[in-house]
Amino acid sequence: DEAIHTGTGTGDYNGTVTLGTTKSGSTYNLTDSGRGNHKTYDLNQRTSGTGTLFTDADDVWGGGRQSAGVDAHYGAAETWDFFKNVLGRNGIKNNGVASYSRTHYGNSYVNAFWDDSCFCMTYGDGSGNANPLTSIDVAAHEMSHGVTSNTADLNYSGESGGLNEATSDIFATAVEFYSGTPSDPGDYLIGEKIDINGDGTPLRYQDKPSKDGASKDYWSSGLGGIDVHYSSGPANHFFYLLSEGSGAKTINGVSYNSPTSDGSKVTGIGRDKAIKIWYKALTTYMTSTTNYARARTATLSAAGDLYGTSSAEYKAVGAAWTAINVK
Ligand code: ASN
Ligand code: ZN
Ligand code: CA
């Protein structure tokens, strides 16, 4: 006697949200049958296995150990809905089959990750000033690694590794705007809720990636030699410029000021078109060895398919790559 239910949950980040749950006997559990039976588990500080499926007596979730489960389950659901409703993709493999989420990994673990071998996402609790790693942009980032693995499969080193990382950041931002809870409205910052530095700053900035002290704003010939979380910078910057344009802008209370390598001005085409172009490029034109130069070609091809090669959208794609020194 298993039945689909809609619970409510309050985690650390998204206010009170609805959750896809299942009733088994007299107990509810975090199994989302409307989204491929996505399940969310409590690893109980272990670092292997799946731990235990979260259960609850009254389908009202949150507090204590459940809060991370609520946020992880919600983040996976919103990411699933974004890919389905905005991009027409039915799950990570486009076959309706869900991954699963594991929370409370290890002790004071300040990271989250996607793993191809388990087809699952895993979240640490954070430590010190670093909050649990279960904010929606982090969840969407990790789940999007699964999409990349099952499409372009960009090699996780060199320039393709930077493009792989940027792809996860780009979808992370798109999902955060799509979901848009009052307590975590959309922004072009990655991991701003985690407070990993203890001073309120995010992990990464898409309008001007060098604000993190390590990421690059523009392509240069040495880019493939640095960590993929820093060589992602120019592609994140491309996405910001294509979406919002260069110069100063405030969105949902956050101020941005995005520069260009050559002083050119870029006019944005909006996030909705930019994300459709990136997704089509990722799923149609990019391969495991795509570098920045070929990413330019891939996104131009995608923009041509979607909007025509004479369109303002096509021209903006070229202008945004030129602005980050990919010509
Ligand atoms: N959170 C990191 C990422 O998704 C974990 C890692 O570096 N593998 O990129
Ligand atoms: Zn990543
Ligand atoms: Ca964010």
Tens-digit pLDDT profile for residues 30-78: 999 999 999 999 999 999 999 999 999 999 999 999 999 999 999 999 9
pLDDT tens profile 140-154: 999 999 999 999 999
Which pLDDT band, with edges at 50, 70 and 90, does 2 fall under?
confident
- Residue 221 makes CB contacts below 8 A (sequence gap 6+) with none
The pLDDT of residue 4 is 84
Can you tell me which atom of ligand 1 is nearest the CA of 228? 9
Domain boundaries defined on the chain: 2-149, 158-323
DSSP three-state, residue 156: coil
- The phi, psi pair for 17, rounded to 5°, reads -130, 165
Percentage of residues in the chain having pLDDT higher than 90: 99
Return all residues near 9 (Cβ < 8 A) that are at least 6 apart: 16, 17, 18, 19, 60, 61, 62, 66, 70, 73, 74
* Active site positions, annotated: 142, 229
CA 85 vs. chain centroid, Å, equals: 16
Distance CA 238, CA 284 (A): 19
Query: Ligand 1 centre and the CA of 112: distance in Å?
Result: 6
Q: What's the pLDDT at 89?
A: 98
- 251 C-alpha to ligand 2 centroid (Å): 25
CA of 113 to the centre of ligand 1 (A): 5
Residue from 163, 169, 156 nearest 243 by CA: 169
Would you call 75 helix, strand, or coil by DSSP? helix
Whether residue 162 contacts residue 231, with contact meaning beta carbons closer than 8 Å, is answered with yes
Report which of 179, 207, 183 is spatially closest to residue 86, judged by C-alpha positions.
179
pLDDT at 242 over 80: yes
What is the structure's pLDDT at 140? 99
**Mean pLDDT taken over the chain:** 98
Q: At what angle do helices 271-280 and 312-323 cross, to 10 degrees?
A: 80
* Confidence label for 3 from pLDDT (cuts 50, 70 and 90): confident
State which ligand 1 atom lies nearest to the alpha carbon of 229.
9
Using CB distances shorter than 6 Å, the residues near ligand 1 are: 111-113, 141-142, 145, 165
- Report residue 104 CA to chain centroid gap: 20
Closest C-alpha among 217, 315, 212, 300 to residue 266? 315
Closest CA to 270 of 13, 86, 23: 86
Inter-CA distances, 199 with 22, 111, 128, Å: 40, 18, 12
pLDDT over 70 at 132, yes or no: yes
**Nearest by Cα to 154 from 14, 294, 316, 54:** 294
Cα dihedral 216, 282, 287, 316 in deg (nearest 10):
-60
How large a percentage of the chain has pLDDT more than 70?
100
Q: Do domains 2-149 and 158-323 have the same CATH topology?
A: no
Length of the chain: 327
The pick from 142, 170, 226, 230 for probing ligand 1's pocket by mutation, whose C-beta has the most ligand atoms within 8 angstroms, reads: 142
Q: What is the ipTM of this complex?
A: 0.95
List the CATH code of the domain at 158-323: 1.10.390.10
Distance CA 110, CA 134 (A): 11
Q: What fold does the segment set 2-149 form as a domain? A: Elastase; domain 1 (3.10.170)
Distance (Å, whole) CA 87 – CA 223: 30
What is the pLDDT, as a whole number, of residue 1?
58
Nearest CA among 132, 136, 119 for reference residue 81:
136
Q: Is the pLDDT of residue 164 over 80?
A: yes
Secondary-structure percent of the chain, ordered helix, strand, coil, rounded to 5: 40, 20, 40
Query: 256-307, pLDDT tens digit by residue?
Result: 999 999 999 999 999 999 999 999 999 999 999 999 999 999 999 999 999 9
| Tens digit of each residue's pLDDT (9 = 90 or more) over 265-275 | 999 999 999 99
